[in-house]
Structure 1
Amino acid sequence: YLTVADQYGNMISFINSLYGHFGSGVVVPGTGLVLQNRGAGFTMEHGHPNQIAPNKRPFHTIIPAFVSKDGAPWLSFGVMGGSMQPQGHVQVMLNMVEFGMDPQEAIDAARFRHDSGTTVAVERLDVDVAAGLEALGHELCDPDGVGFGGAQAILKLAQGWAAASDPRKDGIAAGH
């Protein structure tokens, strides 16, 4: 994921993926370009929303986020990490909009991840909150080894920018 802003107020939010670690493993001769393998996400299961069909794209989580406020660019951000992407986007946005966090605070905050059923992984969970979730029927799993995504963000301020990068992944927020 990459986000960039310039001195004129322009912002971009960009994400690219080959899907698997090396995509399809097929390189276009003479170009060095590796083909993606998103088609691996299709299923043959009849009636499934991601069932393979003509002219259909497979489910994916390529989600660059861009938020405007009062008709002007306000926030460019993204969260990498497969099925964590939409969950991470919502959590980062809620942290900023509802809880008044700046971009770095919003990104650094503990996250939760739901993958299936009632099982939830949560970073840095308070014991009382854990007990409350379990009382509601949620199964909490060990968050070790669970990917909580990696986010980057740029927020437009009245004068300049605020940038943030997630310590969970490689990245940097830089400006001049």
Structure 2
Amino acid sequence: AYMQPQGHVQVLMNTIDFLLNPQAALDAPRWQWIDGREVWLEDRFSPEIVEELRKLGHDVRIMSDYTSFGRGEIIWRCPDGVLAGATEPRADGTVAAW
């Protein structure tokens, strides 16, 4: 729903821009734009990032409940044919490849 496209962009960004493996891409802390300048951040973001966002004028809310930040699992087929999987720390998912 509302968070789904935001979560997709963040996971893709983590893998393409930051070259994270599937598990690290899912483990990374997430943010959620709510409205206007209101942004929710998982409480795993560094205080420095929170402060910089506030200096830029964002209304930052730190969230310890991660349920609104999406969930997912990943299975990649690597160039050598090996499957690499990852599961979301925000949910009780399991990776299974056939």
TM-score by length of 1: 0.51
Structure 1 residue runs of 5 or longer lacking an equivalent are 1-81
Report the equivalent of 1:90.
9
- Structure 2 match to 1:131: 51
The answer to which structure has the higher helix fraction is 2
Alignment gaps of 5+ in structure 2 = none
Of residues 84, 88, 103, the one that matches 2:22 is 103
Who is 1:151 aligned against? 72
Aligned sequence identity (%) = 37
Moved over 2 A (4+): none
- Superposed CA RMSD in Å reads 1.4
What do residues 63-107 of structure 1 show as CA deviations (whole Å, max 9, x unaligned)?
xxxxxxxxxxxxxxxxxxx21110000000010011111111100
**CA shift for structure 1 position 153:** 1.0
Structure 2 length-normalised TM = 0.88
Give the structure, 1 or 2, with the largest relative contact order (CA under 8 Å, sep 6 or more). 2
- Decide which of 91, 94, 97 is 1:169's aligned counterpart: 91
Is the 8 Å Cα contact of residues 83 and 115 (structure 1) preserved in structure 2? no
User: Considering only CA atoms, is the larger Rg found in Structure 1 or Structure 2?
Assistant: 1
